[in-house]
Amino acid sequence: VNFEALIIAMSVVGGTLLIMLGVCCCCCCCKKKSKKQVLGGPDKDDERAAREREKRRVRQEERRAEMKSRHDEIRRKYGTV
């Protein structure tokens, strides 16, 4: 009976150690990731958002120029220039 208790106790201790090791590894990975984002500059999401903002800005400028030329044509057509 004592031998069985020893096996159960060792299993519990071993399982606890494995769980603690896994938790420590996860914490270390999260720390490295957050530290890398702080030191490494913008991450991929920020870069992608910046590219999207730039694309929208360029499209808006193109639309603005197109509308201006269209309005100028209308003004010339009706002589309101």
Q: Are residues 25 and 51 in the same domain?
A: no
Q: Are residues 24 and 50 in the same domain?
A: no
Q: Are residues 52 and 26 in the same domain?
A: no
Q: Which domain range does residue 48 map to?
A: 42-80
First to last CA, the chain: 105
Q: Are residues 54 and 24 in the same domain?
A: no
Cα–Cα distance measured from residue 36 to residue 43, given in angstroms and rounded to the nearest whole number: 9
What pLDDT, on the 0 to 100 scale, is given for residue 80?
76
Average pLDDT over residues 6-25: 95
Q: Are residues 51 and 23 in the same domain?
A: no
Residues 58-78: pLDDT tens digits? 999 999 999 999 999 999 998
What does each C-alpha distance from 30 to 9, 14, 24, 37, 44 come to in angstroms?
32, 25, 10, 11, 17
Q: Are residues 26 and 46 in the same domain?
A: no
Q: Is residue 32 over pLDDT 90?
A: no
What does each C-alpha distance from 28 to 15, 25, 64, 72 come to in angstroms?
20, 5, 50, 62
Whose structure tokens read 């890398």?
36
Give me the percent of the chain exceeding a pLDDT of 90.
57
Number of domains in the chain: 2
pTM of the model: 0.44
